[in-house]
């Protein structure tokens, strides 16, 4: 029997936006765990490859909503009857880049979603996906010695604007907007600040990667496997002791060999040699910590259900 600190696995949740790889993977994992899922999509279901091949029972528990995060009523419609929300912002297909305009769009979307959650009285908890880029870009990270960057740190907007780190600006301001509304409206919210998600769509053009060489040098270039990220979301949702922010990654790139493998993954046709990293090929000390999530996962795993279909698979952690 699961302890009282864990939410029973039943009822209805919403995944918004379910159009991308994270959202679609969350939908599938939640269906596997027995949830009824409202999949709120920016784009038609037929365009989401990850949602194909569901079994009959899963299809019966899946309800699809066309949702525009800039349209308040469409958000409310998708949330009706749900007791939980998994929210992650996906770039529109017609504007797949981060710039100053996209910053405003993501902030407005976060505001609309949290405001809608406050108006839907069945919503009990929100899991808001943010990014490690909302944490690492600040002037004092290079002076950190005995401690590591953790959940208490926020990226410095002035610094980010100076170097046009639009992804970091967008994620930081959207998350702060969400937290301000959650606290003002009394919404129970947890954020998952994800590292760079390793999936088959990853390319060198990903906006997270602007400033990657500085991240590597400072020991904060982190990645997360998609499956691990999905299960971490479910962990922080189902465990009612979860609170605040959680840095989510399961690999830190700290040595030239790892950096070369990473570069070749992003640019398969490029020739990347060890000398590209200069004379100093030492292993870099990681300067970022995920201890808070690690502790929660350990406690959560100790209370896993016996049925294989309902177990979360935290691998390579």
Per-residue HEC secondary structure of 17-37 comes to CCCCHHHHHHHHHHHHCCCEE
What's the rounded Cα separation, in Å, for the pair 106 and 233? 20
> Taking a C-beta distance cutoff of 8 angstroms, is the pair 60, 101 a contact?
no
* Residue with tokens 């765990």, as numbered in its chain: 33
User: How far apart, in Å, are the Cα atoms of 37 and each of 207, 224, 270, 299?
Assistant: 30, 24, 42, 26
Helix (H) or strand (E) holding 198: strand 196-198
Could you tell me which residues are beta bridge partners of residue 207? none
User: How far apart, in Å, are the Cα atoms of 110 and each of 24, 26, 182, 213?
Assistant: 19, 19, 11, 30
Report residue 192: phi and psi, to 5°: -110, 110
Q: Which residues are catalytically annotated? A: 171
What's the rounded Cα separation, in Å, for the pair 155 and 136? 6
What's the rounded Cα separation, in Å, for the pair 155 and 134? 5
């Amino acid at each position: 029997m699961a302890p009282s600190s864990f939410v029973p696995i039943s009822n209805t949740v919403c995944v918004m936006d379910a159009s991308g790889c994270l959202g679609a993977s969350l939908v599938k994992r939640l269906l596997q765990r027995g949830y009824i899922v409202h999949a709120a999509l920016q784009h038609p279901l037929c365009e989401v490859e990850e949602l194909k091949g569901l079994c009959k029972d899963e299809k019966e528990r899946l309800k699809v909503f066309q949702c525009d995060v800039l349209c308040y009523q469409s958000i409310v419609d998708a949330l009706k009857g749900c007791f939980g929300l998994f929210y992650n912002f996906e770039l529109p297909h017609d504007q797949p880049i981060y710039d100053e305009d996209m910053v405003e769009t993501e902030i407005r979307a976060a505001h609309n979603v949290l405001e809608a959650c406050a108006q839907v009285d069945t919503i009990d908890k929100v899991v808001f996906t943010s990014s490690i880029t909302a944490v690492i870009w600040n002037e004092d990270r290079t002076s950190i010695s005995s401690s590591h960057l953790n959940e208490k740190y926020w990226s410095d907007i002035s610094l980010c604007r100076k170097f046009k780190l639009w992804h970091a600006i967008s994620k930081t301001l959207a998350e702060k907007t969400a937290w301000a509304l959650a606290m003002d409206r009394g919404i129970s919210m947890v954020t998952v600040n994800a590292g760079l998600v390793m999936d088959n769509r990853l390319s060198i053009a990903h906006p997270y990667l602007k400033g990657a060489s500085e991240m590597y040098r400072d020991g904060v270039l982190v990645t997360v496997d998609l499956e691990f990220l999905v299960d971490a979301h479910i962990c922080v949702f189902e465990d009612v002791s979860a609170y605040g922010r959680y840095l989510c990654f399961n690999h830190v790139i700290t040595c030239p060999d790892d950096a070369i493998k990473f570069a070749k993954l992003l640019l398969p046709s490029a020739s990347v040699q060890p000398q590209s990293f200069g004379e100093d090929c030492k292993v870099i000390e990681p300067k970022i910590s995920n201890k808070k999530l690690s502790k929660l996962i350990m406690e959560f795993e100790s209370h896993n259900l016996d049925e294989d279909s309902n177990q979360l698979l935290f691998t390579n952690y």
